[in-house]
Structure 1
Amino acid sequence: MIRRIVAAVALPVVLIALWWLLTANSTSYFWPPLADILKVLPDTWFGERARTDIAPSIARLLIGYLCALVIGVAAGVAIGISPVLRALTEPSLEFFRAIPPPVLVPVIALFAGYTGSLSKVITIALGCLWPILLNTVEGVRGVDEVLLDTARSYRLPRHSVILPAAGPQIAAGARQALSIAVILMVISELFGASNGIGASVVQFQRSFAVPQMWTGIIVLGLLGVLLSLIFRVAEHRALAWYRGWRDAERASR
């Protein structure tokens, strides 16, 4: 356990130390010393801005991500179960998956509005939908037929077998979608948003508040790390059975 913690912390500590040393005597306006950046970080983000910018960004991210998770899993199970439905929807899914979500930001904002949160939530949900949906489809398609036959024999609902069996694949898509959600949260806030972390970073950049701009980038990185840790804890508990089965299979070899 201690070795894992040391291994996880070692690289970030080294990178921060290098950043500190390389910028310690910096006179560049655009590359201020890390000490100056950290000095203004608490006053910039841990006051009123935490309520007016950080909280709205997190709320948009979570709403969009959860919408994509529910729709993606439900649609993915339906498509994965039905070969006919899969044949009908596969060309359309491949087409929409190939469109980069940031390209749709101006289009979505045009119809849903630039200043409100609706366009941001829709952008995040659409971007997160595809990895969850496609991974769910593949996970359902890969469910062992023996499990399905067993469920039918015991008259169990199909979803009671399909969802756990496809769980690892669904979790992989959800993990990928989470990183996409953070990226789209920032990108969507660059288009006419009146608040949010992304909007604040752009505002700092336009007003030449460079140390404050760098603090926004640091806050985004910390937010990504925090969300990743929360997801790992949830995944660890939800897929505990899968790890136990995998360990038992390895021990039997």
Structure 2
Amino acid sequence: MSTPRPDRSGRDGRDGRDGRGAGGVRRLAWYWLLPVAAVAWELATRSAGAAYFPPPSRILSRLREMWFAGPPSRAFLTDEAVADLLPSLARLAAGWAMACAAGVLAGVALGRSRRLSALAEPLLHLGRSVPPSTLLPVFLVLFRIGTPMELAAIVYGVIWPVLINAMDGARHVDARWIETAAVYRLTARQRLTRVILPAAAPKIFAGLRLSVSLALIMMVISELVGSSEGIGHRMLEAQSQFDIPAMWAGIVLLGLLGIVLNAAFLGVERLVLSWHRTAHAASP
């Protein structure tokens, strides 16, 4: 009697239903864990009566009151949300887009040129080793308080993972693909768009995904230091007024924004890199 032969995924070769069933049970356990943790937090904070750790119900109530109690015609956004949330998201998107464009362009150029890479890599390692928050006083001197300073902080904090991953991806393009492009006499632009960028895309997207969370972090840090509006400024104002629920509401809002942005980016990544997963699944 023959034994089931394992396939590439590590299952026993029958139909994989056992693995899928175990995965479903684990996902169900995680879905139940969040409400259980929320109830435990609610009961613990109410029994402790700690001033700096309000119950989740109070935090969510303050969150809705601050940002999502507006009219339906304005997507339930309050005046405070329009004044703080929308400018923060606009700066985050603009800073992230500028950093990603600059990082991909510079990374691909450095990855394809050994001479440029040898000259620039020591400076790159020096620059990415400096914590972005330590340069905020420099950005304040150069750009003053306002949107330019915040954009500079976001760009500086976000560009490094994009640049390093783009450089690494462009550097390790399979030499056979470059030789094939030369045989077919592709122009430099065609080699870039049809060979180098697609080959480096998985690495580039890995850096872009890291940069999303960094953009959110740098947005808040820059608003804590040099802004008169935004989520970070509102949290700083709540701290000065000892409005603890408002501080926690800002923290929860940032967490929700991080989840939404990460989910949106993963959706785009799956769409753009669908060919990459298909090629890997078809490879022996």
TM-score if structure 1 supplies the norm length? 0.93
Bigger shift: 24-33 or 230-239?
24-33
Q: Structure 1 regions of 5+ residues with no counterpart?
A: none
The answer as to 2:234 corresponding to 1:203 is: no
Give the Cα–Cα distance (whole angstroms) in 2 for the partners of residues 147 and 15 of structure 1: 52
Against the structure 1 CA distance between its residues 71 and 154, is the aligned structure 2 distance closer, same or farther, given a 3 Å change threshold?
same
The 8 Å contact of residues 150 and 226 in structure 2, kept in 1 or not, is answered as no
The answer as to 2:158 corresponding to 1:128 is: yes
The 8 Å contact of residues 149 and 226 in structure 2, kept in 1 or not, is answered as no
Q: Structure 2 regions of 5+ residues with no counterpart?
A: 1-19, 69-77
The answer as to 2:124 corresponding to 1:93 is: yes
Aligned residue for 2:85?
A: 54
Give the Cα–Cα distance (whole angstroms) in 1 for the partners of residues 184 and 266 of structure 2: 33
Aligned residue for 1:193?
A: 227
How far residue 90 of structure 1 moved from its aligned partner, in angstroms, is 0.9
Against the structure 1 CA distance between its residues 213 and 142, is the aligned structure 2 distance closer, same or farther, given a 3 Å change threshold?
same
Bigger shift: 21-30 or 162-171?
21-30
How far residue 218 of structure 1 moved from its aligned partner, in angstroms, is 0.5
The 8 Å contact of residues 147 and 161 in structure 1, kept in 2 or not, is answered as yes
Q: Secondary structure at the match of 2:47?
A: coil
Pick one of 183, 191, 194 that aligns with 1:158. Answer: 191
The 8 Å contact of residues 37 and 214 in structure 1, kept in 2 or not, is answered as yes
The 8 Å contact of residues 26 and 32 in structure 1, kept in 2 or not, is answered as no
Give the Cα–Cα distance (whole angstroms) in 1 for the partners of residues 34 and 152 of structure 2: 33
Pick one of 55, 71, 80 that aligns with 1:33. Answer: 55
Give the Cα–Cα distance (whole angstroms) in 2 for the partners of residues 101 and 90 of structure 1: 18
Give the Cα–Cα distance (whole angstroms) in 2 for the partners of residues 10 and 37 of structure 1: 21
How far residue 7 of structure 1 moved from its aligned partner, in angstroms, is 6.4
CA RMSD of superposed structures (Å)? 1.7
How far residue 11 of structure 1 moved from its aligned partner, in angstroms, is 4.6
Aligned residue for 1:119?
A: 149
The answer as to 2:273 corresponding to 1:239 is: yes
Against the structure 1 CA distance between its residues 246 and 146, is the aligned structure 2 distance closer, same or farther, given a 3 Å change threshold?
same
Per-residue CA deviations over 1:83-135 (Å, capped at 9, x if unaligned) read: 11111111111110110111111211221012x11111111011111110011
Per-residue CA deviations over 1:53-87 (Å, capped at 9, x if unaligned) read: 11011111110100011000011111111111111
Give the Cα–Cα distance (whole angstroms) in 2 for the partners of residues 167 and 203 of structure 1: 42
- 1:130 maps to amino acid: W
Specify the structure having the higher radius of gyration (Cα): 2
Aligned residue for 1:226?
A: 260
How far residue 31 of structure 1 moved from its aligned partner, in angstroms, is 1.2
Give the Cα–Cα distance (whole angstroms) in 2 for the partners of residues 12 and 149 of structure 1: 53
How far residue 25 of structure 1 moved from its aligned partner, in angstroms, is 2.6
How far residue 15 of structure 1 moved from its aligned partner, in angstroms, is 3.5
- 1:223 maps to amino acid: L
TM-score if structure 2 supplies the norm length? 0.83
The answer as to 2:155 corresponding to 1:142 is: no
Aligned residue for 1:102?
A: 133
